[in-house]
Amino acid sequence: MCEAMSECKQGTQCEGDVCGLFRMTWSYWADSGKPTLNGEAPTSPTAYANCANDPYCAATAVQGYMGRFGKDCNGDGAIDCRDFMSIHYLGGWGSCNGQLPPLQSGRFEQLKSKENHGPVSDICLACMCEAMTECNHEINCEGAYCGIFKISITYWTDASKPTVDGEQSTSDISDFENCATDAYCAGKAVQGYMAKFAKDINCNGSSEADCRDYMRLHYNGGRSACNASLPQPQKKRFENCIKQLAF
């Protein structure tokens, strides 16, 4: 939904009567229950914009809105992501069975075709991305590491060398850089890496691999001692993310 509305561009603020990554109006925010950032009073004149412009608070607003208005818009017998997208764009008060504009529909369907398949949930992937780079999609390669997950070519190789749209060139380096700097292909690499290394590893002593295990494996590497602590900046961003998203 974020991708469809704004391509999830970090730093998207208010334009006209909509704000943030989800292009949210004041009325939408109010109907969602008026969540606020850092305990700000809902009656504050800045509460709406501060929430809508913050990815976590805005996501809470979307959840609240869908909790109130969620329904089967397309009559397929299920309430799913397509219904939520229609409700988000068309509004919860009227009919949600209309067509999305081609731009938003195209982005949404493209992303749906690349749905996440693997041991790591979408929420966990989002928090890993946040921990590594604050999900800054403008990041390319810096030294040996590339993209929003800061993946190395060794990591990508261990993940079975996924490529963008399954297309391969004659250069592993080119394929690696293209994949690592593409959010969807990079996510696929993370899934492949965790599928290889997480099944026999328990980093934090819990009964089964969880998001904290995946984060430590990602940062420390599958061949290292994954129970090593994360650096403070990454740990702080990661823990804040899973707290905000109630993971």
pLDDT digits (tens, 9 = 90+) for 69-78: 999 999 999 9
- pLDDT beyond 70 at 209: yes
- Using CA atoms in the order 247, 20, 37, 183, what is the torsion angle rounded to 10 degrees? 30
**Hey, what domains does the chain have and what are their CATH numbers?**
2-112 (1.10.530.10), 122-244 (1.10.530.10)
Ranges 3-7, 64-68, 112-116: which has the least confidence: 112-116
- pLDDT beyond 60 at 247: no
Judge contact between 209 and 201, C-beta under 8 A: yes
Burial class (CB in 10 A: 0-12, 13-18, 19+), 123: middle
Give the span between the Cα atoms of 79 and 102, in whole angstroms: 22
Tokens of 64: 């609240």
User: Alpha carbon of 88 to those of 52, 73, 115, 218, 237: distances in Å?
Assistant: 14, 11, 20, 33, 28
Q: What is the pLDDT of residues 123-143, one digit of tens each?
A: 899 899 999 998 888 899 999
By percentage, how much of the chain surpasses pLDDT 70?
A: 95
Q: What is the pLDDT of residues 5-39, one digit of tens each?
A: 998 887 788 999 999 999 999 999 999 999 999 89
By percentage, how much of the chain surpasses pLDDT 90?
A: 63
Q: What is the mean pLDDT of the chain?
A: 90
User: Alpha carbon of 152 to those of 138, 195, 205: distances in Å?
Assistant: 17, 17, 27
